Amino acid sequence: MIWLGKSGKVAATVTKAPEKRPQDWCEAEKLKAIIKTSTLDAENLNSYCRQNDIYRYAKNEEVT
């Protein structure tokens, strides 16, 4: 996105890439997460899941 500042000069803003949902991760990303979390205790695993929005996406999915 480009906009003009008060000085009239063109300024560019950086837009953040859209967040990737865990279910959209490629196999390599999933494997990396499994390896990284395999030795974590429950508290650290919960922290990892919160930091990576895994719980937010999981609770929005239908359980069948």
Rounded CA gap, 59 and 1, in Å?
33
In a domain, 13, yes or no: no
In a domain, 3, yes or no: no
In a domain, 39, yes or no: yes
Cβ atoms of 37 and 48 closer than 8 Å = yes
Please tell me the pTM assigned to this model.
0.55
In a domain, 1, yes or no: no
pLDDT digits (tens, 9 = 90+) for 1-31: 455 556 666 655 555 555 777 788 899 999 9
In a domain, 11, yes or no: no
What is the tally of structural domains in the chain? 1
In a domain, 34, yes or no: yes
In a domain, 48, yes or no: yes
